[in-house]
Amino acid sequence: MHKELLQQLAQAVIDGNKDQAETLTNQLLDAGLEAKAILDNGLMPGMDVVGQRFRDNLIFVPEVLIAARAMKASLAILEPLLAASNAPQVGTVVIGTVKGDIHDIGKNIVIMMLRGAGFRVVDLGIDTPAEKFLQAAREENADIVGMSALLTTTMGYMKTVIERLKAEGLRVKTMVGGAPISPAFAEQIGADGYAKNAAEAVDKAKALLGV
């Protein structure tokens, strides 16, 4: 029964059916399944399919957004339980759109993909100064600091953040992305990783952490 419900939950995520995802999550909990098992065997397989289809250009941003919304609805139920159980996570990512930049759609999709892959993600929002990245990286014991920028006027700030992280001696990996960002730019500013899109961001984050 659990297996069938989990498959239905994965499908609800793939279909972007928020109400169904909430209902199934509650049913699975009522049936005695632990939150971590629901995450690992329902939500993550669903988002894995979404990520693969997105990578293969079979689906596009609207489909990913509604899948993410369905997953978020389920996670809202599971997260208090996950926190209470101290269940292990793949890793912790602190992520934000850099200072001066108020664009967040790309960052938000990356966040949902990372959460769907089992990462714990702390969203710092938009217009994020270096101090906020540093503080969150320390307080959340982050494994990765992710930065997003849409503007050529703000992409240079990624270097400022990376330099501050290094100067403060924080042992954390850095990832960057956004429309004007290229692998060459990422290398130039000393980032550990670059991802072209949200699906690649998950792969890169896993690679950086060796998982």
Partner 1 sequence: MNSRQRMQLAMTLKQPDRVPVMCQLSLGHYFLFSGVDPVDIWYTSEGFAEALIRMADRYRFDGILINLPGRDPEFERHIQRIESVPEGRKIVWKNGCFTLFPQDDNPHYYQPDGTRYFPTFEELEPEKLYYVEPWDITEIAYPYSWGFEAEPAPFDDFFPPYHMDTIKLVKQRVGERLSVHGEVFSPWSQFLELLNYENALMAIMDDPGKVQACLERLTEGAIDLALHQAETGVDAVLISSAFAGAGLISRQHYETFVLPYEKRLIAAIKAKYAIPVYTHTCGAIGDRLDLMLATGTDGIDTLDPPPLGTVELDKAKQQLAGRAFIKGNIDPVNTLLMGTPESIAEDVRWRIEVGKPGGGYILSSACSVAPRTPPEHLKMLADLAETYGRYA
Interface with partner 1 (CB under 8 A): 16, 57, 59-63, 65-66, 69, 100, 102, 104-105, 108, 151-154, 179-180, 182-185, 196
Answer for the pair 43, 73: CB distance below 8 angstroms, yes or no.
no
Q: Which is nearer to partner 1, 81 or 126 (CB)?
A: 126
Residue closer to partner 1, measured from CB, 13 or 35: 13
CB of 180 to partner 1, least distance (A): 5
Residue among 36 and 132 whose Cβ is closer to partner 1: 132
Nearer to partner 1, 189 or 205 (CB): 189
What would the DSSP string read from start to end of 37-95?
A: HHIIIIIHHHHHHHHHHHHTTSS-HHHHHHHHHHHHHHHHHHHHHHHHHT---S-EEEE
Q: Which is nearer to partner 1, 59 or 78 (CB)?
A: 59
Min separation Cβ 195 and partner 1, Å: 12
Measured between alpha carbons, how far is 14 from 122 in angstroms, rounded to an integer?
23
Residue 172 CA from chain centroid, whole number: 16
CB of 130 to partner 1, least distance (A): 13
> What is the rounded distance in angstroms from the CA atom of residue 46 to the CA atom of residue 80?
21
Minimum CB–partner distance for residue 144 and partner 1 (Å)? 22
Confirm if 63 and 113 have CB atoms less than 8 A apart: no
Cβ atoms of 80 and 27 within 8 Å: the answer is: no
Cβ 62 to partner 1 shortest distance, Å: 4
Q: In the block, which residue shows the tokens 């999709």?
A: 109
Q: How far is CA 75 from the centre of its chain?
A: 13
